Amino acid sequence: STKIAYSNRGMSLEEDINVTNSYYLETNRAVIHKKPTPIQIVNVNYPKRSAAVITEAYFKQASTTDYNGIYQGKHIDFEAKETKNKTSFPLANIHEHQIRHMNAILKHGGISFFIIRFKEHDETYLYPGEKIVYFWEQQNNDGRKSVPYTSIQKDGVLIPFKYQARIDYLSVVDQLYF
Amino acid sequence: STKIAYSNRGMSLEEDINVTNSYYLETNRAVIHKKPTPIQIVNVNYPKRSAAVITEAYFKQASTTDYNGIYQGKHIDFEAKETKNKTSFPLANIHEHQIRHMNAILKHGGISFFIIRFKEHDETYLYPGEKIVYFWEQQNNDGRKSVPYTSIQKDGVLIPFKYQARIDYLSVVDQLYF
Ligand SMILES: [Mg+2]
Ligand SMILES: [Mg+2]
């Protein structure tokens, strides 16, 4: 329906970001793609005169993040997460190897962040990778298992919702990193 | 056998690059990963008490290249190809969208290239993306459907084969781009 085209509701964060990335690509703004889901293929059939069919496969743990690419000559790498929580973003949503990966990207001079959608608030934030890494490492000290919503409001930036660049995160990247 | 560990033979180019990338990652030299193979999932079973099983899926055309990541603050993006040809690298090995992708990466300030292995020569070259794009675009003018081996020898750089960084392509990147 046309309603969906103008509203944030009804589309997943991932769909919104994919639409946004297509728009960025078409307008030559950036080259950023979703990495395919990693799959462990166990069995493939090769029928005559038709395409190979994978008949047994399993989902593998991703070793990196959801998205990466290039913007203004800089390497961009990020993870997208949705939560139904209202007061915090639970760290249980993140895997240790994702933190290690983001840390490595940051150390090599890349831009790395989370895009976090609070579904109940209908808000989507860009939250710097350094902050997530900080809360992750603090877990063992203070026992806190989540990032407070207030911290995401304070150190993150609300991403504007637009018609074509639905989740216009590069406008926030401009503001924070350039 | 131990022979394989010291020789280039027996391992595919992709395996060699994956081993090399692991070594680069462990030694903090670069963060470069193979993108997962894109799969169109049609059916998934969720058995009780065990992992989800994909029971029908198909291979999708990749829309980008095989590898990307960050090195010395720069975005790196490349495609790996092997050929049994001795005198040229056939352009039929490349898809139009890969050329478009490399062109976009180059325009946004990234480093983009092919790693081409000539199996019969037991040689692996780094060949700049700009050159591949040039030969691709020339196809419609001169009708040539391949890149001559002599051009790859001239404008590419032979990648040294080492024990740990098996295909030490970053040593060539250092030479060409920094
Ligand atoms: Mg995600
Ligand atoms: Mg390849």
pLDDT of residue A163: 87
Average pLDDT of the residues of chain A: 92
pLDDT of residue B3: 39
Q: In this structure, what DSSP letter does residue B9 have?
A: T
Q: Which ligand is nearest to the CA of B117?
A: 2
Residue type, A8: N
Contacts of B107 in chain A (CB under 8 A): 28
Low-confidence ranges of chain B (pLDDT < 50): 1-7
Give the pLDDT confidence of A3-16 residue by residue, as tens digits: 334 445 568 999 99
Beta partners for B56? B43
Q: Which domains does chain B have, with CATH numbers?
A: 2-35+63-177 (3.40.1350.10)
Q: In this structure, what DSSP letter does residue B167 have?
A: B
**Residue owning tokens 């051009």:** B151
Chain B residues with CB within 8 Å of chain A CB: 25, 28, 30-31, 33, 35-39, 41, 51-59, 63-64, 68-75, 77, 101, 104-105, 107-110
Give the pLDDT confidence of A76-86 residue by residue, as tens digits: 999 999 999 99
**Residue owning tokens 């960025």:** A24
Contacts of A69 in chain B (CB under 8 A): 68, 75
Residue A105, pLDDT above cutoff 60: yes
Contacts of A63 in chain B (CB under 8 A): 33
Cβ–Cβ under 8 Å, residues A145 and A90: yes
Confidence of residue A129 (pLDDT cuts 50, 70, 90): very high
Residue A35, pLDDT above cutoff 80: yes
CA distance to B30, B160, B163, per residue, from B173 (Å): 12, 12, 18
Give the pLDDT confidence of B98-118 residue by residue, as tens digits: 999 999 999 999 999 999 999
Average pLDDT over residues A37-41: 93
Cβ–Cβ under 8 Å, residues B65 and B77: yes
Average pLDDT over residues A158-178: 94
Which residues, 6+ apart, have CB-to-CB distance to A111 below 8 Å? Answer: A71, A74, A75, A76, A77, A105, A173, A177
